[in-house]
Structures are given as C-alpha cells and as structure tokens.
C-alpha cells in the first residue's frame, strides 16, 4: 500500500512528491507526459530558472525527485480512481496496473481550448501567448495584439500598455465593449479594431499580422489570447470533488491546505487555481504534499497542538 498517489507529474505534482519523499513516505507519481507549456521554448518568471526550456526544468526536477528511494515515477495515464469504503483509493492506470494508496493528490493541469482561427494553434506558445507576465518582456515595445475570446480580453488589453505603446484589441466579434470600457481603453492608448479575425500569419511559429474577414491586415508582432480551459481528466468528477467556475474554465475547489471537498483527496496547480503560473503550481504542490503528509499522521495520532495552532 502506498501512502500517496500523485496524478500528474509536472510542476505541481513533483513539488508535492518532493515534500512527501522528504517525509520518507511511499509515493507513486503517475504522469502522462504532456505539461501545459511543453509548446513554449522557454519558461519565464521562475526564480532561479528564468528563461529555461520548461521540459529541461521538469527533467531536472524529476531527476532530483528520483534520488529519494521511496518515490516511484510511472509514465502512464490514470484512467479511473475509486474511493473504497475503508478510505483507501484505487487507481487504474493505462499500463493495466492497479495502484492503491491512502491519499490522492490531483495535479493533472488543464488543457487549452484555442479559438478556431486558422494559423493560431501552430503558433501557440511562440507567436501567440496567454500571459504577459510569462512572455510580455520578450516582445516589449513591439506591436502587440489581444485576440478577444470573451471579457478576459479587456483585462489583458488593459495590462499590455505596460509592455508596449502599441496595443491593439481585436474584438473579433466575441466581445462587445461598453461605452465605459471603450473610453477606458482609448484613454490607456489602446487601439480597438472591431471585426472578425479570419487568420493569423507570419514566418514559422512567429506572427507578423492578423487578417480580418473584411480583408484588412493588421501588423502585429505578438498576439495574446485567453483560451478557455478544461480539466485534463474526469478524475476529480469521478471522485465527487466539487468544481468551481473560474473566468476561463472550471477548477477543483480546495481549501487553504489544498484539500478538496472529498476527504483524503488534495489538488494542486492549474487544475485547482484560476491564475496559472509555474510558481503558483509549485507552491500549491508543496502545500498539498505537506498537508497530505500531516493528514496521514493525524489518522493514527491526533495533533495535540491543532487547537492552539488554529486559534
Ligand atoms: C504556452 C504556455 C506558456 C506558458 N509559459 C509560462 C511561463 O513562461 N511561466 C509560467 O510561470 N507559466 C507559464 N505557463 C503556465 C504553466 O504552463 C502552468 O501554470 C503550469 O504548467 C501548471 O503546472 P501543473 O503541474 O499544474 O500542470 P501541467 O504542467 O499542465 O502538468 C499536468 C501534468 O499532468 C499530467 N496528467 C494529466 N492528466 C493525467 C492523468 N489522467 N494521468 C496521468 N497524468 C496526467 C499531464 O501529462 C502533465 O504532465 C504557460 C502556459 C502556456 C499554455
């Protein structure tokens, strides 16, 4: 019997596993190998690792984790999870193996649902980005576009003048600005271009322009898009975890200890938060690892300081 099965072995999952490994617990990490930012050449804003390729960063993290003898890392997809009456969990993975543990940590991330604009998906992570904190600095001072998928575009456009004086909000027939929003954008120096965007163009995975359905061509060096997001797997729902609706998609409800609404199940990273960054995922993961560990101790030995510490 394992202490904890962590489903998802990327930034959140490895951070959780590290805490549990250091607490000398038996941990299995199950990972299907598709971290969300695998399409990006570099990850930014990560203390001590700024501008490193994300897959390289994860490979180093995995190597360090596997130095701990109580950790097993399995490349597979967790297909089903069952909560038994004796409070243990059973996870069926794509190799056919059945794993059992006392706790589950879901660190399965989210998947991006991009608007179906020709030329956009293949430039995702290079010419097209989701977050100015992650990728704004590299394109600062250039002509930046925001492709509207909904209200979030107005928020993105409002931020971007801190990175460039040339910001274009492409409403793309997806958002109708109120008079106040329009005035606020104009005051912030943002150009508003109404009309549907029919394609994105540029050399390779870069962008040099967007084409509107009426034939207009708008020169742009980088495009920001807030995609809709979906949970990558039905496991949280299988377990009965409560989901909340965020501004761009659903996420698993957790408390300040990363515990979900189902006892024994913790969640961390993009799947359990609304602002999606590597450092946020790592922080959640570390907390999930710590509190999953303490919940294991608590089943045998109630914490004599619990009341005092909570007061
Ligand atoms: C294009 C792009 C660029 C980005 N750049 C940056 C950046 O520069 N800086 C930054 O801070 N953030 C960046 N982000 C955000 C960052 O990628 C996420 O916040 C981060 O990856 C979240 O980590 P996570 O561990 O929660 O999820 P993920 O990294 O998405 O990992 C989830 C893991 O779970 C696995 N998994 C899912 N379902 C299962 C299952 N059923 N069984 C087994 N395994 C499963 C997946 O294979 C994956 O390995 C970027 C995002 C995108 C889309």
Predicted local distance difference test score (pLDDT) of residue 303 = 82
| Atom 29 of ligand 1, residue of closest alpha carbon | 35
At 47-66, the pLDDT tens digits run 999 999 999 999 999 999 99
- CA distances to 65, 139, 155, 279 from 236, in Å: 25, 37, 30, 23
For residue 213, which of 127, 118, 144 has the smallest C-alpha distance? 118
Which of 36, 129, 280, when mutated, tests ligand 1's pocket best, judged by the most ligand atoms within 8 Å of its CB? 36
- Residues in CB range of 114: below 8 A, 6 or more apart: 120, 121, 124, 225, 227
Which CATH class, in words, describes the domain spanning 115-225? Answer: alpha beta
Predicted local distance difference test score (pLDDT) of residue 151 = 87
Predicted local distance difference test score (pLDDT) of residue 65 = 98
At 167-186, the pLDDT tens digits run 999 999 999 999 999 999 99
State both tokens at 24.
């000398």
Q: Is 229 in the pocket of ligand 1 (CB under 6 A)?
A: no
What is the value of pTM for the model shown? 0.95
Give one word for 249, left, alpha or beta, with left for phi > 0 and alpha for psi -120 to 50.
left
Predicted local distance difference test score (pLDDT) of residue 310 = 65
CB 21 within 8 A of CB 27: yes
Predicted local distance difference test score (pLDDT) of residue 87 = 79
Q: Is 43 in the pocket of ligand 1 (CB under 6 A)?
A: yes
What are the residue boundaries of the structural domains of the chain, listed by start?
2-112+228-310, 115-225
Predicted local distance difference test score (pLDDT) of residue 308 = 73
Residues comprising the chain, all counted: 311
What Rg value do the Cα atoms of the chain yield, rounded?
22
Domains 2-112+228-310 and 115-225 equal at CATH topology level: yes
Q: Is 11 in the pocket of ligand 1 (CB under 6 A)?
A: yes
Predicted local distance difference test score (pLDDT) of residue 311 = 52
In CATH terms, the fold of domain 2-112+228-310 is: FAD/NAD(P)-binding domain (3.50.50)
Distance of alpha carbon 309 from alpha carbon 227, whole angstroms: 41
Distance of alpha carbon 46 from alpha carbon 16, whole angstroms: 17
What parts of the chain have a pLDDT lower than 50? none
């Amino acid at each position: 019997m394992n202490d904890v099965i962590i489903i998802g072995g990327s930034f959140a999952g490895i951070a959780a596993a590290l805490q549990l490994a250091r607490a000398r617990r038996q941990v299995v990490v199950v990972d299907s190998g598709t971290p969300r930012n695998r399409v990006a050449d570099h990850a930014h804003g990560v203390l001590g690792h700024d501008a490193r390729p994300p897959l390289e960063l994860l490979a180093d993290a995995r190597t360090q984790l596997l130095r701990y003898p109580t950790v097993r890392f399995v490349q597979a997809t967790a297909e089903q999870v069952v909560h038994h009456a004796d409070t243990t969990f059973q996870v069926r993975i794509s190799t056919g193996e059945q794993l059992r543990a006392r706790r589950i940590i879901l660190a399965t991330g989210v998947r991006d649902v991009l608007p179906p604009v020709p030329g956009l998906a293949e430039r995702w992570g290079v010419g097209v980005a989701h977050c100015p904190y992650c990728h704004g600095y590299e394109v600062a001072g250039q002509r930046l576009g925001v492709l509207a998928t909904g209200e979030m575009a107005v928020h993105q456009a409002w931020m971007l003048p801190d990175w460039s004086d040339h910001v274009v909000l492409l409403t793309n027939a997806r958002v109708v600005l109120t008079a106040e929003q329009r005035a606020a954008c104009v005051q912030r120096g943002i150009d508003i271009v109404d009309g549907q965007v029919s394609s994105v163009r540029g050399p390779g995975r870069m962008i040099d322009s967007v084409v509107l359905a009426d034939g207009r061509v708008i020169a742009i060096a980088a495009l920001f898009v807030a995609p809709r997001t979906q949970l990558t797997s039905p496991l949280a729902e299988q377990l009965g975890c409560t989901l909340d609706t965020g501004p761009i998609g659903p996420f698993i409800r957790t408390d300040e200890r990363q515990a979900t609404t189902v006892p024994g199940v913790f969640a961390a990273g993009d799947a359990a938060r609304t602002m999606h960054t590597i450092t946020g995922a790592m922080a959640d993961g570390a907390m999930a690892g710590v509190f999953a560990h303490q919940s294991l101790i608590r089943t045998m030995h109630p914490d004599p300081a619990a009341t005092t510490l909570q007061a």
